[in-house]
Amino acid sequence: MPNHMSGRIARLVSGSAIAILTASPAFATLGSFGPNEGYSLSVYSGGYNWADVTYYNAGAYGPNAGGGSGPNFIAPDSGKWRLVSQVGGFFGSTAARNAMLSGAPPYPTSHPNGIPAYMVGAHFPGHNNDGYNLAIRNDTPAGTGPTAYAYDLDIYDTGGPAAASVTSGIVTSQFYFLADPDQPYNPGTPRQDKFTLSFIDGSGNIGLEWGYSRDNQVAWRSVAGGGWNYTGIQANPSLWDGVRVTMDLTNDTFGIDYYDANLNTWQNIAAPGTGMGASMANFTTLRWQLEDATSLGIGGKNMFDDFSFNFVPAPASLALFAGCAAMLRRRRA
């Protein structure tokens, strides 16, 4: 075998070994959304609190998120969190946000809008009484449009390998949430969306979505923007329910389990082996969307906590690693 081929295989084996040996369950950068995970509810500039996750290095400092200092201001959307809607970051439109924040940081010393549409960490209360959660809010008037944020997974979420490098095997994501109070359902009319969480790969393909309607009916769908599969489960706004999504990246399938805090039990709501709406080459991004006119409870805030991820490479990856190692041994012999 030519030396350059041996080198290529050696690098492949080395990279595969790192991914395989470091892929393990891990409480993530998302984690508990407190200071240890790189979140703060007080990020002031000129007397105004710019605590939206898109304005500082949210999720990128603290002992559970790689260490380092924070919170430190960054250019909007240049960190792990990005605003992907016209509404959010304390502004009701993209134009208003851009006009105010052009060239930031440093951030302005006053705020012209006070629009209640944002995503903040280190909020209260917390699942398991740890005092911290992630809160998303959008009580803009009906017709304004949803607020939506994207979060990009890193090595502290995966437990080691870069999320984009895990292209096969099983990936599990688990979290807990607290919905704001429900709005009564009007029988005979279509249910209206309230919250949607999308599971996305590095090319923007959405494999599945989970969420709940304005009456807090829990639902899921495999086709982004398609019809929901309603489960008959009503999320209780006073209890932390849980969700566990298991994705098979090898076969482009998934399953969803749901923790009903009322019953203190886990139950399956989407059978394992359910086909993804779009093939996912990997799992790199979570997209959070909250519709407008969500204003009940604590300012209409919907809260999330205790995210964990488990990346398990496919057996084929192990076989590839063993085969390449054997080829190198034969060459060296």
Residue bearing tokens 């769908």: 221
Architecture of the 24-312 domain: Sandwich (2.60)
- H or E stretch including 328? helix 315-332
Model pLDDT, residue 256? 98
Per-residue pLDDT of 217-260, as tens digits, reads: 999 999 999 999 999 999 999 999 999 999 999 999 999 999 99
Mean pLDDT for the chain?
A: 86
Domain regions of the chain by residue span: 24-312
Query: What local confidence, expressed as pLDDT, does residue 269 receive?
Result: 98
Q: Is the pLDDT of residue 144 over 50?
A: yes
pLDDT at site 25: 37
CB neighbour burial string for 124-138, b if at least 16 within 10 angstroms, e if fewer = eebbeebebbbbbbb
pLDDT digits (tens, 9 = 90+) for 47-90: 788 999 999 999 999 999 989 899 999 999 999 999 999 999 99
Instruction: State phi, psi for 136 to the nearest 5 degrees.
Output: -115, 135
- Of residues 152, 247, 252, the one with CA closest to residue 202: 152
Alpha-carbon span 230 to 269, nearest angstrom: 9
- The answer to whether residues 15 and 292 touch, using CB atoms and an 8 Å cutoff, is no
Q: Which two tokens stand for residue 74?
A: 């960054």
What is the 3-state secondary structure of 34-77? CHHHCCCCCCEECCEECCCCCCECCCCCCHHHCCCCCCCECCCC
Whether residue 36 is predicted with pLDDT greater than 80 in this model: the reply is yes
Q: What is Dmax (Cα atoms) for the chain?
A: 75
Torsion angle (degrees, nearest 10) of CA 260, 265, 267, 269: 0
Beta bridge partners of 244: 174, 257
Q: What is the pLDDT of residue 294?
A: 93
Q: Note the pLDDT of residue 268.
A: 98
Confidence of residue 316 (pLDDT cuts 50, 70, 90): low
Q: Nearest CA to 119 among 146, 95, 142, 143?
A: 146
Candidates 230, 195, 225; CA nearest to 208 is 225
